[in-house]
Amino acid sequence: MPTLDKKDLQQIKEILDKSIDERVPKIIDERVPKIVLEVVEPFFRVIQENFNHIQERFDKIENLILADHRKRIERLEAEVRELKELLSIK
């Protein structure tokens, strides 16, 4: 079995380092986005559901406010008609 001297060990180290330097970014580029998406997606789904629930609540509030405004406007219009009749204004 041949023995390795310091120079041989250094060459092996450089080859391994170069190989790792070339492979790691590729592995990261390929796998990390998938892993991150798998981890983060359920959280995004829950957040989207919460936003949908909040939107529904805002829609209900908006409808209540519009209904209230509609009633107030109708009441004011009726009062204006009464006042016109009382003052005999056409």
pLDDT tens digits, 38-85: 888 888 999 999 999 999 999 999 999 999 999 999 999 999 999 999
User: Does 83 reside within a domain?
Assistant: yes
Q: Region 30-41: what's the mean pLDDT? A: 77
Is the pTM higher than 0.75?
A: no
* pLDDT of the residue at 47: 93
Does 67 fall in a domain? Answer: yes
- In total, how many domains does the chain have? 1
Measured between alpha carbons, how far is 63 from 40 in angstroms, rounded to an integer? 35
| Res. 90 pLDDT band, cuts 50 70 90 | low
Q: How far is the C-alpha of 38 from the C-alpha of 32, rounded, in Å?
A: 10
- The three-state secondary structure class of 73 is helix
Whether 84 and 90 have beta carbons less than 8 Å apart is answered as yes
Predicted confidence (pLDDT) at residue 27 exceeds the cutoff of 70: no
| Alpha-carbon distances of 77 from 73, 80, 87, 90, rounded to whole Å | 6, 5, 15, 14
Q: Domain range spanning residue 85? A: 32-90
